[in-house]
Amino acid sequence: MSSSTEEITNLISQEYKQGFVTELEVETFPPGLDEEVITKLSKIKNEPDFMLEYRLKAFRHWQTMKEPDWAQLNIDPIDYQAISYYSAPKKDSDKPQSLDEIDPELLETYKKLGIPLDEQERLAGVAVDAVFDSVSVATTFKGKLNEAGVIFCPISEALQEYPELVKQYLGTVVPETDNFFASLNAAVFTDGSFVYIPKGVRCPMELSTYFRINAANTGQFERTLIIADENSHVSYLEGCTAPMRDENQLHAAVVELIVMENAEIKYSTVQNWYPGDENGIGGIYNFVTKRAECRGDNSKVSWTQVETGSAITWKYPSCVLLGDNSVGEFYSVALTNNYQQADTGTKMIHIGKNTSSTIISKGISAGKAQNTYRGLVKVGKNAVNARNYTQCDSLLVGDKCGAHTFPYIEVKQPTAQVEHEATTSKISEDQLFFCQQRGLSAEDAVSMIVNGFCKEVFKELPMEFAVEAQALLGISLEGSVG
């Protein structure tokens, strides 16, 4: 019995495989945050006046706020004045138009990550808007998207090219006063993605962004805004890795999705930021506000996330189902190992009639990690015939980790139907032995069993992303797969 447990412990205590630091010349603000820093940031980015006003409004509100403390997380105090709020590659005045112009060292970084752009360019159907630290350095497949009328660019560029469009939608789903981390993001965000799918357009390819935190001690504050106009469809992929670091790096992203009548957004995330070492030192603090608003009738939004990284994950991708017959989905795999902590889940807010939502959450805890599902299903008084189905499964690997489930349900409409199912299980030594007896190594066996547990979520991911996600689980669990 104890030898198997030991084996599992050995398997899950492998080193983070993607830890390395790229040496690039970086222009970085000195640490600290005040109105002057924000003004300077906005000026460097040559933003329209409304953005500076928006940022300052957010900052002033943020100063009145306190960090939320309701999550099942132990967080060391964060000194927001010790963080630098801007960092960019120096040569940002002439942005490269092709890979030839990109710093070879950066290309090397991507290669180490297994996501070489030159290969991805050839991969049919995937456009890459790579964010390296705070400034986007490469955007591909623009031509094809232009033909379809799709706008897919860094949000800093959108502020130059389409300021009215940004102004119309930015902050309308997650207002600058929403929560502590969202307000901070609104004040200091440096870049992110902007997507606009015009009426009646089915985006001809999957849109993909790889984020990467790089410069030391630099908080990353991405801002993503996606609008799917009437009768349109888009699938968006977001994936992340980070180099090995000792100090904690703060990350507070905001993602806003707006879905109009008969439109659909599918948003998939694979998150693999540095989780800290096996003693819980270092690692990314990840405080994310992701929210989608189904504004039109018959609109649909689907969040799929695979979370294997970060020391701390605080993240609740949510759906506000305003339009009648609108649909919200949340598929999640959250894996925590060593001293990682995750408090993640979703909010499904039913407002329109005949709205429906599905929540499938798979939490895996290994090592001494804590994994919490926190979900809210809220049915308003006008949401006639609203439906929700929630399935929430936890898997424990070893005997020193924890799984917690906090489902909140608020129903104000008598015709609503809300279902919640939850299970907790352990990888049994019998399962492990069975697989070994068939010739599989213990690490392959754990990886296979965990992947099996997550299957319902993986099948929601685009094919190549699903493969990557499975490999990631393998790496996170034992470091040899993929």
User: Which range of residues in 87-95, 241-249, 305-313, 428-436 is near other proteins by CB under 8 A?
Assistant: 428-436
- If one asks whether residue 430 binds other proteins (CB under 8 A), the answer comes out as yes
Residue 391 touching other proteins (CB under 8 A): no
Question: 232 to 291, contacts with other proteins by CB under 8 A?
Answer: none
464 sits near other proteins (criterion: CB under 8 A)? no
Nearer to other proteins, 4 or 160 (CB): 4
Considering only 90-98, 196-204, 369-377, 423-431, which stretch makes contact with other proteins by CB under 8 A?
Answer: 423-431
Beta bridge partners of 327: 300, 356
Per rule CB under 8 A, is residue 1 in the interface with other proteins?
yes
- Binding to other proteins by residue 442, rule CB under 8 A? yes
What's the rounded Cα separation, in Å, for the pair 257 and 266? 10
289/470 with CB nearer other proteins: 470
Q: Which residues contact 159 (CB under 8 A, 6 or more apart)?
A: 45, 47, 48, 51, 166
For the CB of residue 321, give the shortest distance to other proteins in the complex, in Å. Answer: 29
Q: Which is nearer to other proteins, 24 or 481 (CB)?
A: 481
Instruction: Tell me which stretch binds other proteins (CB under 8 A): 42-50, 58-66, 341-349, 444-452.
Output: 444-452
Site for other proteins in 170-229 (CB under 8 A): none
Residue written as token pair 């990314």:
284
Check binding of 422 to other proteins (CB under 8 A). Answer: no
Size of the site for other proteins (CB under 8 A): 27
* Nearest-angstrom CA–CA distance, 270 and 239: 5
Shortest distance (Å) from residue 11 CB to other proteins: 13
Q: Which is nearer to other proteins, 6 or 34 (CB)?
A: 6
User: Where does this chain touch other proteins (CB under 8 A) — which range of 59-67, 297-305, 316-324, 434-442?
Assistant: 434-442
Stretch that binds other proteins, among 49-57, 116-124, 312-320, 426-434 (CB under 8 A): 426-434
Q: Quick one: which of 39, 63, 200, 433 contacts other proteins (CB under 8 A)?
A: 433
Instruction: Kindly list the distances between the CA atom of residue 146 and the CA atoms of 117, 129, 150, 196, in Å, as whole numbers in the listed order.
Output: 20, 14, 6, 11
CB closer to other proteins, 277 vs 478? 478
Cβ proximity to other proteins, 289 vs 394, nearer residue: 394
463 binds other proteins (CB under 8 A): no
Q: With beta carbons less than 8 A apart as the criterion, state whether 350 and 381 touch.
A: no
Cβ distance to other proteins smaller for residue 28 or 441: 441
Q: Which of residues 4-23 bind other proteins (CB under 8 A)?
A: 4
Q: Minimum distance from CB of 7 to other proteins (Å)?
A: 9
Asked if residues 361 and 392 have their Cβ atoms less than 8 Å apart, the reply is: yes
Minimal distance, residue 476 CB to other proteins, in Å: 17
Our finding on whether 28 is near other proteins (CB under 8 A) is no
437 touches other proteins by CB under 8 A: yes
Q: Which residues contact 192 (CB under 8 A, 6 or more apart)?
A: 131, 154, 155, 222, 223, 224, 225, 253
Residue bearing tokens 């989905």:
329
* Residue 448 binds to other proteins (criterion: CB under 8 A): yes
Task: Decide if residue 456 touches other proteins (CB under 8 A).
Answer: yes
If one asks whether residue 438 binds other proteins (CB under 8 A), the answer comes out as: yes
Rounded to 5 degrees, φ, ψ at 344 are -145, 155
Q: Is residue 424 a contact residue for other proteins (CB under 8 A)?
A: no
In the complex, what is the shortest distance from the CB of residue 441 to other proteins, in angstroms, rounded to a whole number?
5
Pick the binder of other proteins from 29, 440, 471, 482 (CB under 8 A): 440
Judged by the rule CB under 8 A, the positions of this chain that interact with other proteins are: 1-4, 428-431, 433-442, 444, 448-449, 451-456
